[in-house]
Structure 1
Amino acid sequence: MIKLAVFLGNYGKEYEKTRHNIAWYFEDSLPFADKLKWQSKFKGEIASVTPSELADFACETKICSKKDGTPVAVPQEAPDRIFFLKPMTYMNLSGESVIEAANFYKIKPEDIMIVHDELELALGFVSLKWSGGLGGHNGLRSTKLVLNTPDFWRLRFGIGRPDNDKIGVADWVLSRFTAEQQEIMQSVFSQANVLFVKVLLSKKTQDLVQNWGKKNLISQ
């Protein structure tokens, strides 16, 4: 089961709600975000909840509960706590924060999920993926380097590639979403919130890949 969810991004006002910071944008969208108590540690900001607390939060905010309104079941195999991490190292050195937290809490790579932006997916697409290539993503590259393996989970949010040849990839990922695109992302996030909780409370993350391996949420 996932024990550490890492939201990749760059800190600083100039990077707020840029495409490269879509993971932080997503974290802010979680209905229970204000219940997370962050503290500075491991070259980043870290928070944690028990699986039962997460199930209760999800039920209270009506993003994930049983039909009768009660919280979703917490698997017996669930860890004592689930950690959320936002590296404050800048994207290229994200792994330094990840490895410090993983080593301290003795979390294996296969129990880590990295939430990040994905150039190869169009805006509106979300993808739950196990291992694989890095797609030129510096945050993933740094994480693979310190973990010495690409075998960790990824929750990818599509940002697409620039539609103008005059805009380079570096400028594109550091540009902000338009007002229209922000509206689209709010719709995407509201649906991805459910997936996020399901992933963290699933004893077999792989079971979710069939439906969420690559999903267009703006066509729902």
Structure 2
Amino acid sequence: MNAPVSDPPGGRRVLPIAGGPPAERADAVRNRRRILAAAAEMIATRGADALSMDEVARAAGVGVGTVYRRFRDRASLVYAVIDDREREFQRDFLAGPPPLGPGAAPAERLRAFLHALADRTEEQADLLLAAETDSAYARFNDGSYALYRMHLAMLVARHRPGADAVYLADALLAPLAANLFLYQRRVLGMDLDRVKAGLDAMLHGICPA
């Protein structure tokens, strides 16, 4: 039996924006900024594949233990580098104007979300690839993915009551894994409009008008 996906009494479901760090000491804030700046510089100059926790520590002027205390692995560090753009994207689909934000029909919001996520993936595909492939389940362990799934499952359940909304949410997100996205864009030569048209076709099969 499928778990229901519904709004709380009296209002719209409010989903948390992922990635907000707790208040920190001034020295901890400085260390975090140094680490992120060093990681961003390394990625910009040498590519995400060259990112090394040891080298980031040396470039930031901190101990490697400090890096690992702040970021448990390379995937966490890469996600922190891309976090600002992710926060903006989450604000847009949680509280921005329709059709991406609240106020449009579920099917319209689903389509707007998939197109916006395709644009978001296009912007930082190499960084997302590095983060998502750092371990077998890195993509699914990230808080952003859980938020995407919850958001899409909520919309699917509104459009198709009784459907396996969580499974269908995963199915809608699968084509936007960074490795498949980059393969289609760079190896197969698909342009972004073609990718979005494919997402529309899949969405129509899952949530027909």
Please tell me the TM-score bracket, short chain as reference: under 0.3
Bigger-Rg structure (1/2): 2
TM-score by length of 1: 0.25
TM-score by length of 2: 0.25
Greater helix content: 2
